Amino acid sequence: MYSNTISDFIDKMLVKSSLFPSLDVCYADAKLHNKFENISTPLLCICGADDIFQPADALPLAEVSKSSFVAMVLTEHGGHIGFLEGWWPFRGVQYLERVFVEYFTKTLFDKDGSFQKIKEQLGVFN
Q: What confidence score (pLDDT) does residue 119 get?
A: 60
- How large is the C-alpha radius of gyration of the chain? 18
Torsion of CA 74, 79, 83, 85, to 10 degrees: -120
Chunked mean pLDDT (size 10), the chain, 126 residues: 80 76 82 84 87 85 88 82 71 79 77 62 54
Burial 30-68 (b: 16+ CB within 10 A, else e): eeeeeebeeeeebebebbbeebeeeeeeebbeebbeebe
8 A C-beta contact, residue 80 and residue 52: yes
Q: What confidence score (pLDDT) does residue 126 get?
A: 42
Extents of the domains making up the chain: 1-30, 36-121
Q: What confidence score (pLDDT) does residue 117 get?
A: 63
Say what the pTM is.
Answer: 0.63
